[in-house]
Amino acid sequence: MAKNPFRSEADAYRFLLLTIGYFALIVAAATLNTWVGLVVFVALSAVVLWRWLGSRTVEAPLRTSVPRPHDEAERHILVIANETVGGEELLAMLRHRSDGVREQVLVVVPALNSVVRHWASDEDGARAAAQGRLEASLARLASAGVVADGKVGDGDPLQAMEDALRTFGADEIVISTHPEGRSNWLERNVVGAARERFDVPITHVVVDLESA
């Protein structure tokens, strides 16, 4: 998200100085010639817009170190999935990972919400729906013999992972998505962003529910 120029007094002060510079250049150019002033206005506005749009993507995420306060013989796996827990690919992978160790699986289902509802802090519906998906997922895991706990997480999957990591201490994160072309998370590069952000091995599992 773009930075709010009035987030603090220091930010507001910097914004004021930039505003003074912006208008000083435009007025100086307009004094020479109205059309020159217009060109400078357009050029400066384009630069401001470019910088503003750039600030939305350039901000590097923090690389979060994950505490792992558990026994060496245990393996903590954090599974993050919206509605794809229970696919055969994921179940097979979880069974394979738990060979020879005591595994603890935490399933986090993000409470996905619309932008408007998010800004209005209206997320009861989103969390209730996520709770429903979580319970269905846990039931499928249980029937497949996988012991798991579950949580409804933040609507932003990266934030949901970070929240869970702070209390769960995972050895591995498994991100389960739909196949390419049907996955909003893949389109947003959630897996790549998670690999940059978290100091934990991350496995991406594609679950194709339509072909199941």
Partner 1 sequence: MSAHADSHSGSHHGPPIAHKSSRVDASVLGMFLFIASEAMLFGAFFTAYFMVRVVNPEAPDWPLEPFHLPVFIAGVNTAVLVTSSFTMHWALQSIKRGNRTGLKAGLLLTFFMGLAFLITQMLEYARIGFNPADGVFGTIFYGLTGLHGAHVFVGLTLLGIATVRAFRGHYTPEHHHGVELPGIYWHFVDVMWIVVYATIYLI
CB contact at 8 A, 146 and 105 = yes
Phi, psi for 169 (deg, rounded to 5): 65, 60
Q: How far is CA 113 from CA 86, 121, 143, 185, 187, in A?
A: 22, 10, 29, 14, 17
- Out of 59, 71, 74, 124, name the contact with partner 1 by CB under 8 A: 124
Minimum CB separation of residue 180 from partner 1 in Å reads 28
Q: Is residue 61 within the footprint of partner 1 (CB under 8 A)?
A: no
Q: Where are the beta strands (DSSP E) in the chain?
A: 74-81, 102-110, 148-153, 172-177, 202-206
Residues from 9 through 38 that contact partner 1 (CB under 8 A): 9-10, 12-13, 15-16, 19-20, 23, 26-27, 30, 37
**Residue 149 binding partner 1, by CB under 8 A:** yes
Q: How far is the CB of 177 from partner 1 (least distance, A)?
A: 21
Query: How many CB atoms within 10 Å of residue 194?
Result: 21
- The only residue of 151, 157, 186, 207 in contact with partner 1, by rule CB under 8 A: 151
175 binds partner 1 (CB under 8 A): no
Q: Is 192 in the site for partner 1 (CB under 8 A)?
A: no
Computed over its alpha carbons, how large is the radius of gyration of the chain? 23
| Of the residues 40, 78, 94, 146, which one makes contact with partner 1 according to CB under 8 A | 146
Read out DSSP for 120-134?
TT--HHHHHHHHHHH
Report yes or no: 36 and 30 within 8 Å, Cβ to Cβ.
yes
The answer to whether 77 contacts partner 1 (rule: CB under 8 A) is no
Binding site for partner 1 (CB under 8 A): 4, 6-10, 12-13, 15-16, 19-20, 23, 26-27, 30, 37, 111, 118-119, 121, 123-125, 127-128, 131, 134-135, 138-139, 141-142, 145-155, 159, 163
